[in-house]
Structure 1
Amino acid sequence: MFFPIGDDQVHQGHVPFFSYGLIALNVLIYWYQHSLGGPEGAAFIYAYGCIPAEIESGQDYYTLFTSVFLHGSWMHLLGNMLYMWIFADNIEASIGNLPFAVFYLLGGLVAGLCHIYFNTGSAIPAVGASGALSAVMGAYIVMFPRSNIRGYLIVFRLSVPAFLFLGFWFFQQSQAGYASLGDTSGGIAWWAHIGGFVFGVLGGFLFRIWYGTPGLVGAARKKRDWE
């Protein structure tokens, strides 16, 4: 399994305040959620997680946004924040701070709606930044297809082009999504990932037209890998 730790960075561009701020915000919210304890923590998830059955009945539309900032476990949080660290800053540096924030939230919204469409009637709350991050990764594969994604394959360090890493990632999500059709037992929101990624790809093409693609430099010069 390939474990990513870094990428090539945009040379110049906007300072990615929102990307790094979102990491801090998600960590703080999870810390608060975890501090509530068992029953209260579960109630917090049910109050602010996205429950398809409730959205379908016209209730709690706000959870389409609040659910993007909740996570089910430390591993869930750390995995998403690692991907935020690697992919989000290049997009924000390229398109600007406010456009990135809007794009991120819209990506989470589209991902949530896609999850609801394929999980009608479910009473299980969906949480996590994965859908919004899938949109970021969809934009990344269009805007920076040849950016080097560095990481470890077991103990071997190597780099792969973004289009290979993200293309394989999307293939995995698609396979899992189709396999999950008809399964109402909950688990990973595969279709949120798929919907978010497709939205991000479309956004990526628009961003290339509107903003172009800034040059890249090695991450060693602009951002330290996680080692």
Structure 2
Amino acid sequence: MVIPVHDVNPARRTPYVTYALIAANFVVFLATPGVASSLTGDSGPSHLAQLCHLQAFLEQWAAIPRELIHGQLPTTVPTGDVGLGATGRGCAVGPPGYDKSPQLSVLTAMFLHGGWVHLLGNMLFLLIFGNNIEDRLGHIRYALFYVACGYAAAYGFALVNADSTDPLIGASGAIAGVLGAYLVLYPRARVWVLVPFLIFLPLRLPAWIVLGFWFGLQAVYSSGRGVSDAGTVAYVAHVVGFLTGMLLAWPLRRGTPPPPQPRGLLWGRRAHHRW
């Protein structure tokens, strides 16, 4: 696993859409029920109440594969209240008090995250790689591209898990599309990464290695091999989003100027040649 921290590929224009997406994701996350308990570590009765609020919130705003594929909306959903059942206290259920559009839920789900690690990891990748794709596509086309990759990722995952009722949340599918486009348009751009080897070792690697390695891991994990939490992370959505981004960016490949050749420190020594 490598952690990207910076790419050597300056953009010509300010990435307003990328900044707006990052800001929107943070605002929605902080407004999501349950964030307060994750910050304070509360595990008492108030934690159960917030958990019930979170379940109701996700049921309404997250994408549900079964709803996307079959169009079947549930007749009972979490209400957000704490109830008392045969097995003790839990989250109460009842008829939904809202009208939900499964298609629109894909868009709202792109701004929901399950925790700080989920959010910060996604926003880091978007910040590093999104500015150059926005620079190449322009603000409007980039926004449409981002949404298209997110939709493709969500529906791709839903097709493989058509009967699942687990909420699908996160910007990972859309951001995977950004990574796929970056691989097509800027494969030789240099990316500073941290590699955990006893300590975090900083290295500058070409984008095709960094992003190719990332995609390879997602492909392996999507098959359920080599990871224990494959059922809680939508690796299939990452794969579909990445391939969609590559496909949409491919026609622009020949007209994209190469990134500048890096100068300075490389592998701990001063570089005297270009590669």
TM norm structure 2: 0.73
Contact 2:186 2:259 in 1 (8 A): no
Partner of 1:65: 107
Structure 1 SS opposite 2:103:
coil
For residues 116 and 179 of structure 1, what CA distance do their matches in structure 2 show? 16
Q: CA deviation at 1:9?
A: 2.5
Structure 1 SS opposite 2:110:
helix
Structure 2 residue runs of 5 or longer lacking an equivalent are 37-48, 74-101, 265-275
Letter paired with 1:45: L
Partner of 2:18: 19
Structure with the higher helix share, 1 or 2? 1
Does the C-alpha gap of structure 1 residues 190 and 11 become closer, same or farther in structure 2, counting only changes over 3 Å?
A: closer
Does residue 155 of structure 2 align to residue 110 of structure 1?
no
Does residue 119 of structure 2 align to residue 77 of structure 1?
yes
The number of equivalent residue pairs is 215
Q: Percent identity?
A: 34
For structure 1, which segment, 81-90 or 40-49, has the greater mean C-alpha deviation from structure 2 after superposition?
Answer: 40-49
Partner of 2:8: 8
Partner of 1:204: 249
For residues 29 and 23 of structure 1, what CA distance do their matches in structure 2 show? 10
Q: Following superposition of structure 1 onto structure 2, how do residues 1-227 of structure 1 map, counting pairs within 5 Å?
A: 1-12=1-12, 14-33=13-32, 34=35, 37-58=50-71, 60-154=102-196, 155-179=200-224, 186-209=231-254, 212-213=256-257, 215-216=259-260
For residues 15 and 263 of structure 2, what CA distance do their matches in structure 1 show? 15
Contact 2:69 2:159 in 1 (8 A): no
For residues 29 and 235 of structure 2, what CA distance do their matches in structure 1 show? 22
Structure with the higher strand share, 1 or 2? 2
For residues 132 and 166 of structure 1, what CA distance do their matches in structure 2 show? 15
Does the C-alpha gap of structure 1 residues 5 and 172 become closer, same or farther in structure 2, counting only changes over 3 Å?
A: same
Higher RCO, Cα 8 Å, sep 6+: 1
Q: CA deviation at 1:126?
A: 0.7
Structure 2 SS opposite 1:65:
helix
Contact 2:173 2:240 in 1 (8 A): yes
For residues 86 and 28 of structure 1, what CA distance do their matches in structure 2 show? 20
Does the C-alpha gap of structure 1 residues 123 and 188 become closer, same or farther in structure 2, counting only changes over 3 Å?
A: same
For residues 218 and 185 of structure 2, what CA distance do their matches in structure 1 show? 21
TM norm structure 1: 0.88
Q: CA deviation at 1:57?
A: 2.6
- Describe the superposition over 1:51-103 as per-residue Cα deviations: whole angstroms up to 9, x where unpaired: 01111232522111111110011110000000011111110011100000000
RMSD of aligned alpha carbons: 2.2
For residues 187 and 168 of structure 1, what CA distance do their matches in structure 2 show? 21
Higher-Rg member (1/2):
2
Structure 2 SS opposite 1:179:
coil
